[in-house]
Chain A
Amino acid sequence: MTVIAQNLVWGVRRKGIVNDVSLSVARGETLGLIGPNGSGKSSLLRLLSGLKSPQSGRVEILGQDIARVSRKALARQVAFVQQNAGTDTNVAVRDVVRLGRTPHRAALAGWTAEDERAVSTALEQVDMTDRRAQPWQTLSGGERQRVHIARALAQCPRVMFLDEPTNHLDIHHQIEILRMVRGLDMTSVIALHDLNLAAMFCDRIVVLQAGTVVACGPPAEVLTQALLREVFRVRAEVSLDAPLTQPHIRFLAA
């Protein structure tokens, strides 16, 4: 197992947001994290990636307890893509992607061939190579998201956490980004809102409700009509092309 979380608990003041969550992600697996607004998806992702410290419980990544690893060492193995991170600074696409090399560089060390290779590969992977000199402010929302993912890829991580990476993107870019992430030889955990996209691109899905895991397994097993009614409070028809393949969800009015 690449990522193992045991009994994670976290909250703000007395309000529990993540309540006793345990999960594991296998090497190379793409795990989808779904759940209604406020179910604790973003908080759980931050606990898993070490951006927040749990009140109790522990996270192990690649066999190491992340609470005992330095920030910098962790960032060489784990990347995190926020939703809609913006800036007023006039930076070029390439500068943003170069930031991904931060954990690999000493304070005053020069730019190495390996850094250059990581940056150009990352730019290629998100298809932004010919936009490398373009200023950040002139990019569209989808392009910005792709640049953020390129920056995460430049970290050369073995595990990637993405918090709703397809928010505000048109359907073409939603599919493009998820297809790309899934195609990487990398372990990834993705918080998603679109259930059909989660079914299309995730090996397994974890469903969160009020900070606890209510279901976990392959999309066809998890995304049932009963679960959608109970957790998301929607009526839906779930059709399977064949048993245990990708489920398709059709929401019903009223």
Chain B
Amino acid sequence: MTDTDTQEGGAGTLALFLGLVLLLLVIAVAFAAAIGDYRISVGTVFLAVTNGLGLTAADIPPIEQSVVWDLRLSRALVAALAGAGLAICGAILQALLRNALAEPFVLGVSAGASTGAVAVIVLGIGAGSLSLSMGAFAGAFAAFGLVALLSNGATSGPNHTILAGVAASQLFNALTSYIVTTSGNAQQARDVMFWLLGSFGGVRWPDFQLLLGVVIIGLAICMVMARSLDAFTFGDEDAASLGVPVARIRLILFAVTALITATIVSMVGTIGFVGLVVPHAARYIVGPLHLRLLPVCAAVGAVFLVLADIASRVVAQQQTIPIGVVTALVGVPFFAIILYRARPQT
């Protein structure tokens, strides 16, 4: 148990912890840029980054400059942002839905994204003007819209909202399967499915810029509402009696999580486990109050996904394992330790 008695006095410890995790993040990103089929020394990585930022004009091979700056660094930073975003979304949905099993895809966002992606790739909706990402994003928001509609603008209770999410997921998964099975092109379908399992291949700087904006704005909104989120500890009615405008907060936060999740899914596919596990781990470290929890979630989620991405590239030679597989393989043992140590002492 954490010492919540010194909540505000613990701001120093929190800052120290966050600082350490961010340092770890920098190291992890550096390694992510160095490690791969084409190995590059960390020193060269450093020079390539300062070159890229325009701080230096060191003389390093153009191929290494390009691999570090154009491919690996953007990829590692997108992984970090995706991890941060998914972890924040998970923490918020667990609080709002008062359900330890809630995760970013509980509102049907990933199922909607897959339908949108399949519709663009297989059916050719948009006649080539729409990218796969845009299709996925539109599908994700369509699913979220359906959930919001089914749960009266998210004003019904948590279980009602979860059921609406289940219904939307089933519907969109069925639509995806229908489109895939009735289309003649099996290769296209397989491409989409592989993409949906999650991959950081192909992300570039514009993706990073977009995601950076979404995650920062999302985190800022969530931090402003962190105190209100704490008030949901004993349920919606209790939050209302503490002066929280429950319906408005729920709808805004659901929309923010849907926006972050949809952006991530449309870029890198459905990466499971991060959004479920990191909030639990973070709660174990800093306690349940969201003003402390959310930044820690973001930092830990970022490190976790960068490390998972490194693992996905080095575990199998010449092959990249879907990132979702790695997050589960790496995450479950780690989570098991926390579950074991946090078991009720009775």
Chain A: residues with CB nearer than 8 A to chain B? Answer: 46, 49, 51, 70-76, 78-80, 82, 85-92, 94-96, 98-100, 102-103, 105, 107-108, 110-111, 132-133, 135, 137, 148, 155
Contacts and interface: CB of A to CB of B under 8 A. Distances in A.
Interface in B227-268: 227-228, 230-231, 233-235, 237-238, 240-245
Given A71-B243, A74-B243, A75-B241, A89 B227 contact: no
Given A71-B240, A85-B234, A102-B231, A90 B288 contact: yes
B100 A88 contact: yes
Nearest to A78: B241
A85 B98 CA distance: 13
Given A88-B98, A102-B227, A51 B4 contact: no
Contacts of B228: 102
A107 B224 contact: yes
B243 A99 contact: no
Interface in B1-27: 1, 3-5, 7-8
Nearest to B7: A111
Given A94-B4, A96-B233, A102 B288 contact: no
A137 B346 CA distance: 11
Contacts of A91: 4, 233, 288
A176 B195 CA distance: 63
Nearest to B100: A88
Contacts of A73: 243
B1 A85 contact: no
B242 A102 contact: yes
Given A86-B234, A92-B1, A102-B228, 14 more contacts: A71-B243, A71-B245, A85-B234, A85-B235, A89-B288, A90-B283, A95-B7, A96-B234, A99-B233, A102-B242, A102-B244, A107-B227, A108-B291, A133-B3
Nearest to A80: B241
A103 B226 CA distance: 13
Interface bracket on B: 20 to 34
B223 interface: yes
Interface string B93-105: 0000010100000
B333 interface: no
A191 to B, nearest CB: 15
Contacts of B240: 51, 71
B328 interface: no
A90 B1 contact: yes
B344 interface: yes
Contacts of A90: 1, 283, 287-288
What 5 A-B pairs have minimum CB-CB distances, sorted nearest first? Answer: A75-B243, A103-B243, A72-B243, A80-B241, A85-B234
B289 interface: yes
A145 to B, nearest CB: 12
A96 B227 CA distance: 12
Given A90-B283, A133-B4, A137-B344, A82 B242 contact: no
B8 A71 contact: no
A132 B242 contact: no
A155 B240 CA distance: 13
A233 B234 CA distance: 36
Nearest to A135: B1
Interface in B289-345: 289, 291, 344
A163 B155 CA distance: 23
A89 B290 CA distance: 12
Nearest to B238: A85
Contacts of B289: 95
Contact of B242 (A95, A99, A110): A99
B243 A102 contact: yes
Given A95-B4, A103-B243, A82 B233 contact: no
B225 interface: yes
A82 B236 CA distance: 12
A73 B245 CA distance: 11
Contacts of A110: 8
A107 B249 CA distance: 13
A70 B240 CA distance: 11
Scoring A80, A89, A91, A155 by chain B CB atoms within 10 A of each residue's CB, the highest score goes to A89
Contacts of A71: 240, 243-245
5 contacts: A70-B245, A74-B243, A87-B234, A95-B4, A107-B225
B277 to A, nearest CB: 16
Contact of A75 (B4, B234, B242, B287): B242
Given A88-B100, A95-B4, A107-B225, A76 B243 contact: yes
A177 B133 CA distance: 59
A87 B233 contact: yes
Contact of A95 (B238, B241, B288): B288
Contacts of A86: 234
A88 B102 CA distance: 13
A51 B8 contact: no
Contacts of B4: 91-92, 94-95, 133
A132 B241 contact: no
